[in-house]
């Protein structure tokens, strides 16, 4: 049984995005589920083993709501183009290499190892069009202890021949075979992943919608990221009033189809209303939107409207898997937007980006992203002692500095649904806490 207690400075977001802080409190894990946080440990938990992280920060794990695993290989390269040219010049060429399993093996080892070292516990991941490579990616992420969704990508039009699926029939057939093979994984589940409307024919969308319903799967894609892309969708789908409608038309835009859409930088009012109504999650990807000069999404507006928003690294349009960086950039980009183009929308605050990286994005995975009773026990222990300072700092100040200054090296332990991982001199390894053999 995954039964134990961890002690330390507990920080998490309340439902209304306020920061809850408990100095040297106890977080209880009972069979992988949080049994609450306590200033003094209740007697009934005294038999649970207690791991003492006094004076460290204990935060929920981060949720990366949008990341492309095959693109991790060219992170930090080729950032001088906008979306459509970037896809054609760099991305498709790299993704085609995953046809070769030897290449996929090497590349996905690196991706999964780096995910393991990171404070991210949940992710929505794009693979490539290739079944075998995508199953390999799922296996490696499952072994790295990550929970979440991985998608075999669909694209059957407007793509170079070397990465274009031969027909909507073949694409759907491969997708169904992949879904069935993916059933063997416990913590990594399949997610329907049409790349975006420009590369998916109407016939393909129709078939994916059938599979989505048949297997009750969630879906992920891209929405209103770049002006050229939006114009292209407008030309490809003359019968739709806005981009989101091109997904909604097939019943793949929230409601009974849990959906996460990356970007929403340039969504129209009508699109925003449908996102809200259908409870579509937005993956805000500030680094990607900066690198590809896409723009700055109006996140303040989305939060004020009560839309569900999380953060995404969007590697490799984002150069880094770091959710610390995603939080920092979300604040910084919101400030530039406010100063340069839109005085109506005030900048994001530390509490809000922390909420988006934990509870906001976590909600896509269920009861995830907070230390409340009944939530899955995802926790990260941060040792911030290397971020030196001469003055006294409270826990909230330390959390703020963590966002701006910490990286993977500050992660000394992590827990995913109660499964523990501990740092030693060689890296982070699966470790059994609370007699979970």
- The pair of structure tokens assigned to 181 is 């093979």
CA distance 119 to 382: 9
248 binds ligand GUN (CB under 6 A): no
Contact 309, 362 (CB under 8 A): no
14-25 core/surface letters (b: 16 or more CB in 10 A; e: else): eeebebebbebb
Residue (130 or 195) nearer to ligand GUN, CB: 195
229 binds Fe ion (CB under 5 A): no
Residue (296 or 381) nearer to ligand GUN, CB: 296
Alpha-carbon separation of residue 266 from 305, 322, 363, 371 (angstroms): 16, 25, 24, 34
Structural element, H or E, at residue 363: none
3-state secondary structure of 197: helix
378 binds Fe ion (CB under 5 A): no
75 binds ligand GUN (CB under 6 A): no
91 binds ligand GUN (CB under 6 A): yes
CA distance 334 to 435: 45
| Shortest spacing between CB 179 and ligand GUN, in angstroms | 21
Residue with tokens 């990465």: 163
Number of residues that bind Fe ion (CB under 5 A): 2
Structural element, H or E, at residue 122: strand 120-126
Roughly what angle, to the nearest 10 degrees, separates helices 323-340 and 395-405? 90
283 binds ligand GUN (CB under 6 A): no
The partner in contact with residue 201, picked from Fe ion, ligand GUN, none with C-beta cut-offs of 5 to 8 angstroms by kind, is none
Number of residues that bind ligand GUN (CB under 6 A): 11
Of 83-91, 105-113, 379-387, 425-433, the segment contacting ligand GUN by CB under 6 A is 83-91
- The pair of structure tokens assigned to 414 is 């992590």
8 strand-pairing partners: 25
Q: Which one among 64, 94, 287, 314 touches Fe ion, defined by CB under 5 A?
A: 314
- The pair of structure tokens assigned to 139 is 């296996």
Of 144-152, 156-164, 258-266, 390-398, the segment contacting Fe ion by CB under 5 A is 258-266
The partner in contact with residue 83, picked from Fe ion, ligand GUN, none with C-beta cut-offs of 5 to 8 angstroms by kind, is ligand GUN
The partner in contact with residue 196, picked from Fe ion, ligand GUN, none with C-beta cut-offs of 5 to 8 angstroms by kind, is ligand GUN
68 binds ligand GUN (CB under 6 A): yes
Residue (13 or 289) nearer to Fe ion, CB: 289
Output Rg (C-alpha) for the chain, integer angstroms: 21
225 binds Fe ion (CB under 5 A): no
Binding site for Fe ion (CB under 5 A): 262, 314
Binding site for ligand GUN (CB under 6 A): 68, 83, 87, 91, 195-196, 222, 225, 288, 314, 317
């Amino acid at each position: 049984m995954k039964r134990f207690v961890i002690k330390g400075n507990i920080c998490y977001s309340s439902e209304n995005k306020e920061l809850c802080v408990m100095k040297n409190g106890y977080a209880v894990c009972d069979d992988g589920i949080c049994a609450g946080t306590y200033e003094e440990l209740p007697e009934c938990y005294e038999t649970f083993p207690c791991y003492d992280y006094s004076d460290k920060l204990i935060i929920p794990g981060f949720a990366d709501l949008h990341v492309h695993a095959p693109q991790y290989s060219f992170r930090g390269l080729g950032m001088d183009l906008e979306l459509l040219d970037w896809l054609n010049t760099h991305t498709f060429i790299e993704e085609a290499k995953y046809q070769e399993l030897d290449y996929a093996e090497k590349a996905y080892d690196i991706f999964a190892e780096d995910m393991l070292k990171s404070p991210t516990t949940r992710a929505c991941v794009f693979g490539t069009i290739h079944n075998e490579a995508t199953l390999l990616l799922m296996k490696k992420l499952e072994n790295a202890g990550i929970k979440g969704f991985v998608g075999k990508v669909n694209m059957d039009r407007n793509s170079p021949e070397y990465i274009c699926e031969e027909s909507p029939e073949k694409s759907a057939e491969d997708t169904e075979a992949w879904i069935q093979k993916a059933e063997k994984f416990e913590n990594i589940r399949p997610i329907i992943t049409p790349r975006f409307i420009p590369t998916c024919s109407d016939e393909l969308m129709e078939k994916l919608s059938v599979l989505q319903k048949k297997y009750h799967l969630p879906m992920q894609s891209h929405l209103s990221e770049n002006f050229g892309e939006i114009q292209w969708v407008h030309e490809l789908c003359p019968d739709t009033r806005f981009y989101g409608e091109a997904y909604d038309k097939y019943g793949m835009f929230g409601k009974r189809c849990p959906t996460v859409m990356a970007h929403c930088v340039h969504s129209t009012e009508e699109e925003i209303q449908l996102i809200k109504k259908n409870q579509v999650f937005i993956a805000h990807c500030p680094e990607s939107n900066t690198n590809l000069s896409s723009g700055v999404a109006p996140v303040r507006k989305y939060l004020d409207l009560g839309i569900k928003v999380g953060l995404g690294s969007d590697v490799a349009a984002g150069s880094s898997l770091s959710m610390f960086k995603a939080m920092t950039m979300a604040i910084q980009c919101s400030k530039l937007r406010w100063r340069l183009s839109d005085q109506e929308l005030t900048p994001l605050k530390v509490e809000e980006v922390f909420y988006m990286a934990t509870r906001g994005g976590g909600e896509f995975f269920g009861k995830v992203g907070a230390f409340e009773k009944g939530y899955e026990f995802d926790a990260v222990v941060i040792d911030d002692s290397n971020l030196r300072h001469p003055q006294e700092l409270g826990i909230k100040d330390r959390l703020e500095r963590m966002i701006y200054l910490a990286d993977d090296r500050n992660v000394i332990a992590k827990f995913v649904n109660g499964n523990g991982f501990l740092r030693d001199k060689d890296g982070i390894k699966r470790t059994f806490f609370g007699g979970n053999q």
